[in-house]
Structure 1
Amino acid sequence: MNKGLILSGALTAALALPSFAQAPAQVKYANTITAADLTKHLTHLASDEMKGRDTGSEEGKLAANYLADFYKSHGLTGPVDGSYFQNVPLVSSTFNKVTLQVGKSKLVENQDFVFVGDGDMAKAAKTELVFLGLVTEENLAKVDLKGKLVGLWAVGVRSNDLVTKVMDAGAAGIVIVSMEGQANFDRIANRYKSLAGKGRIGFDQETKQRPIFMVSSDKMAQLFGTPVETLKEAAKASPETIASQKASYQVVKTKTPVEAYNVMGFLEGTDKKEEVIVISSHYDHVGVSSEGEVFNGADDDGSGTVSVMEIAEAFATAAKEGNRPRRSILFLNVTGEEKGLLGSEYYSDHPIFPLENTVLNLNIDMVGRIDYEYQDSSNTDFVYVIGSEMLSTDLKKIVEYNNITYSDLILDYRYDAADDPNRFYYRSDHYNFAKHNIPIAFFFNGVHDDYHQVTDTVDKIEFPLMTKRARLIFYTAWDVANRENRIRVDGTNTRTDR
């Protein structure tokens, strides 16, 4: 893939026409975004004392207060009836007991299986485990799955719709393989194990009897007493050749309320103040492991959070000096991203400013590191940009123009494909704006060995590179905020289903 970027002279000239593109003011204010300030804020937010900023934790609230105090100190207003906080009503569901037995094998949670479903049962259910394999009409016609646990082979496919189809067909529950190889499964199981005892946080919903157990391909083969390759072949068209097994399972659940907040600072614009640009990040991370190890979350997403802070300071400084943007800007730090994009979902369902007046969302999630793709490159001044041309043909051009004019980063679009197997587009908070047809651009540095590990610490952050990335986002926001015409929404949202 060509990671470089060349704009024609005609395009450059065309993009130079709107607003303040060549004015020196934005350079002055972009230069207030410094590595020193980013370091100061991130050293605090990603310290061991902040204990991983888990959603709803006391340290999460301390982080929220730190952000609100920062916005207040720079003259930004609290847009929620004078407050900087939007309460996000969440609950923590704790599965106090999850058991699964197949034949004589009593499986161990977070070792032999990971529980990814829902349910609450007074006593264990006894049934059979049957093998369905691929969810096709042909296979469904060959296997009686009513009232039974159903073994699914869902490697390399999106499983949500398949699970729903099988449950709607009368299955009592599902045992699913979604990846091959024990090592891949073990990484997920170890993460669940490290967070054992912590509740699953989400919106309060009616409990569904939907027990879903994820196992490795090796474990599934073991449960059916069949080699993996035989099981894979049977999954295609002959699931009835795999003998069913006796099984029992139980799930016991309790729910408790969680106090969590989105944090926001607001800068009112001038003549176009009814139109709002949202610059977002998530300030939560995943807390502390069951062994007491802190997931500092320096890159994910301390880096995005402090970038939003510094961009907010740059705009606030400009406003104090008589260079207030024409459009209003909402600096939004959301909670619950790590639990399923919860805070941004709540904001988009309960917006402080009407979504029809929301011009743009620039989302920043992990911008402090160099990823696998660039770790051996001679030029590591890059950033991945995702989603910037899906809904607006203007936005990608604006990002590119400001990059050429001011930042000189490599803008890499490799993860912007609709069929990207990593599905990064669906995994951060911009998604909840795009689904409402609001143009978005997601800025991201890719994954690395410390992603979601206790080793994601401040000492590994590339602060000069992070500063360049934050300044590019500032330049983009400045351009959109001050141009005469609102950016067009002339595209179609083709990525609506997570």
Structure 2
Amino acid sequence: MKKRIWISGALSFLLSFNLSAQDAGVVKYASTITASDLEKHLTYLASDELEGRNTGDKGQKMAAEYLVEFYKGLGLAGPVDGSYLQKFNLVSVSYPEVTLTVGKQKLVNNKDFVFLGDGDLKKAAKVELVFLGLASEENMKKVDVKGKLVGLWAIGSRSQTVIQDIMKAGAAGIVIVTMEGQANFDRIANRYQSLSGTGRLGFEEPTKQEPVFLVSSDKMAALFDTPVETLKEAAKNNPESIKAQKASYLVKKQNKVVPTENVMAYLEGTDKKEEVLVISSHYDHVGINSKGEINNGADDDGSGTVSVMEIAEAFATAAKEGKKPRRSILFLNVTGEEKGLLGSEYYSEHPIFPLANTVNNINIDMVGRIDYEYQNAENKDYVYVIGSEMLSSHLKVINEYNNITYTNLILDYRYDAADDPNRFYYRSDHYNFAKHNIPVIFFFNGVHDDYHQPTDTVEKIEFPLMTKRAKLIFHTAWDLANRAERTPVDGTNDR
């Protein structure tokens, strides 16, 4: 409560000190961010020619080349020993053969179950499938899980944590229900089926014999030959009442190296050049779906990528006119976000500039559209702001001040709640800075019907609104890059 009162008071102080006192020079540089330029860049990056910019594929590399040439043209430096590319390898992991049989039931991969875990076996493992239900201490005392496939009813729980706990207890593997309803499961199975030919992309890790099979609630009931409602009741406190079943499974694994690259451009500051502000977006998307349709990714995250480009141009224009920022700025377009925030994770583990000198991360992911919440609103000039007061009490105030002074958008904080069921705070690249206690601010327009669909195309982008959002981000970045003191880290990343 005290923190919120201080923020309100600080904002009032800032406004009373210099109410709407626009800096004409800064406005001039912000004016270089135009709807026509945003549209020009996005029309290329989200074109069919780039085939959805899937990580490691031709289209992603074409996008990288486009970004590099743009930054070169601005006169910005390549900070990786003169290069604009931070190259690294990912590994595409596929499982060309996964089988699961329970009793006489031979289950079909990506139809009856979805394989989520890891493993690589030379021959099928024969085990018992036991039912544990909820992974409570009481249930663990009643069911011996060691060496068994364990049936879990993890609805409402953080399934990944539960899985790790059960594996540590000696289980051979997991068969898990994470949501009720066949339709919900079918949506997941269809998505995994469409991705089955591409493999899972990530960093190379040793194989874990940790098979995890996701099934629907109806399928779990069928495996134990027990009605769903009976199984749900048994899951709470008498899982031992459910008869164990004979089972076998086989998992075969295949790895393929996938080279990819982050793109970055650097503008050196003046008297505080050792301190670095990072402005980021991800330029990858999800490629071509199983039907051969291109997911162009105009909003996700073509919109963020071209916003970073235009903000970079505004700073570069100022620098050419003798108005370089006090702090240095790294314009960072990362790869692999759609595969698990991989590019930003790699940067945070292999930073070009020390993380201790990184003052803030401003992350832009989807700023070109209007979402469900605002589609019928009278005033649609909004942007969602996430994470701005998590680690620094100053960052939210600074952004609000610049908004009131220059852009007058609705700053909506609804997704900044600790209990946000969407968990957006964890779902974009700022998180890999926040976890290192670097104050972040994440700008976002919310989701819409075209999210991760082939219909996320350029003609649906709201370019005037996107321009206003990009200008707000520029003004906030200008303030952070030029203020006397860096924003203090006086909060805790407690999510």
Q: Same fold (TM over 0.5)?
A: yes
Q: State the alpha-carbon separation in 2 of the partners of residues 182 and 396 from structure 1.
A: 43
Are 2:147 and 2:170, in contact at CA under 8 Å, matched by a contact in 1? yes
Name 1:416's counterpart in structure 2.
Answer: 416
What is the 5 A alignment of 1:375-454? 375-454=375-454
Q: Is the 8 A contact 1:15 1:398 kept in 2?
A: no
How far 1:10 moved relative to its partner? 6.8
Who is 2:456 aligned against?
Answer: 456
Q: Secondary structure at the match of 1:88?
A: strand
Kindly provide the amino acid, as one letter, of the partner of residue 114 in structure 1: V
What SS does the corresponding residue of 1:80 show, helix, strand or coil? coil
The Cα offsets for residues 39-95 of structure 1, whole Å up to 9 and x where unpaired, read as: 111111111111111111121111111111111111111000000000122111111
Q: Structure 1 length as normaliser, TM-score?
A: 0.95
Give the deviation of 1:14 after TM superposition. Answer: 2.3
Match of 1:4 in 2: none
Runs of 5+ unmatched residues, structure 2: 1-6
Preserved contact between residue 16 and residue 22 of structure 1 (Cα < 8 Å) = no
Provide the rounded CA distance (Å) in 2 between the counterparts of 1:262 and 1:277: 17
Structure 1 range deviating more: 244-253 or 434-443: 244-253
User: Which sections of structure 1, spanning at least 5 residues, go unmatched?
Assistant: 1-6
State the match for 1:3 in structure 2.
none
Residue 228 of structure 1: how far off its partner (Å): 2.1
Displacement of 1:8: 6.7
Q: 1:355 to 1:40 in 2, by over 3 A?
A: same
Partner Cα distance (2:208, 2:244) in 1 = 25
Matched, 1:243 2:243: yes
Given that 1:91 and 1:204 are in contact with CA atoms closer than 8 Å, whether structure 2 keeps it comes out as yes
Opposite residue 62 of structure 2, the aligned amino acid is L
Deviation at 1:17, TM superposition (A): 6.0
The alpha carbon displacement at 1:278 in A equals 0.2
The answer to whether structure 1 residue 342 and structure 2 residue 349 are counterparts is no
How far is 1:11 from its partner? 2.6
Q: Is the 8 A contact 1:68 1:84 kept in 2?
A: yes
Q: Deviations over 1:449-468 (max 9, x none)?
A: 11112222222211111111
Structure 1 residue 366 displacement after superposition: 1.0
Q: TM-score, normalised by structure 2?
A: 0.96
Q: Is the 8 Å Cα contact of residues 151 and 176 (structure 1) preserved in structure 2?
A: yes
Aligned residues: 488
1:282 aligns with 2:282: yes
C-alpha deviation, 1:9, in angstroms: 8.6
- 1:84 corresponds to 2:84: yes
CA contact (8 A) 1:195 1:288 kept: no
1:170-197 per-position Cα deviation (integer Å, ceiling 9, x unaligned): 1111111112222222222211111221
- CA distance in structure 2 between the aligned counterparts of 1:8 and 1:59, rounded to whole angstroms: 46
Q: Deviation string for 1:280-322 (max 9, x for gaps)?
A: 0111111112331111111111111111111111111111111
Corresponding residue number in structure 1 for 2:4: none
C-alpha displacement at 1:220, in angstroms?
1.5
Alignment of 1:117-128 (within 5 A): 117-128=117-128
Aligned residue runs from structure 1 range 43-442, under 5 A = 43-442=43-442
Residues 21, 355 of structure 1: alpha-carbon distance in 2 compared, 3 angstrom cutoff: farther
- Mapped contact 2:94–2:196 kept (Cα < 8 A): no
Q: Which residue of 2 aligns with 1:35?
A: 35
Deviates further, 78-87 or 44-53: 44-53
| Kept after mapping to 1: 8 A contact 2:366/2:444 | yes
Determine helix, strand or coil for the equivalent of 2:68. Answer: helix
Question: Which stretch has the larger CA shift, 175-184 or 380-389?
Answer: 175-184
Q: 1:81 and 1:222 mapped to 2: Cα distance?
A: 59
Which range is displaced more, 388-397 or 446-455?
446-455
Whether the 8 Å CA contact 1:12–1:401 is kept in 2: the answer is no
Amino acid at match of 1:219: K
SS in 1 for 2:252: strand
Deviations along 1:1-58, one digit per CA (max 9) or x if unpaired, are xxxxxx979734426769x973111111111111111111111111111111111112
Distance 1:115 1:21, change over 3 A: farther
Output the CA distance in 2 between the equivalents of 1:400 and 1:229. 51
Aligned-pair CA distance for 1:227: 2.2
CA distance in 2, matches of 1:99, 1:283: 36
Note if contact 1:196-1:290 (Cα within 8 Å) is conserved in structure 2: no
Mapped to 2, the partners of 1:74 and 1:230 lie a distance apart of 66
Is contact 1:366–1:446 with CA below 8 Å preserved after alignment?
yes
The CA distance in 2 between the partners of 1:36 and 1:183, in whole Å, is 43
- Contact kept, 8 Å, 1:21 with 1:479, in 2: the verdict is no
Maintained 8 Å contact 2:93/2:200: yes
Give % identity.
Answer: 74
Q: Distance in 2 between matches of 1:170 and 1:359?
A: 44
Query: Using a 3 Å threshold, how does the CA distance of structure 1 residues 21 and 263 change in structure 2: closer, same or farther?
Result: farther
Runs of 4+, deviation exceeding 4 Å: 7-10, 15-18
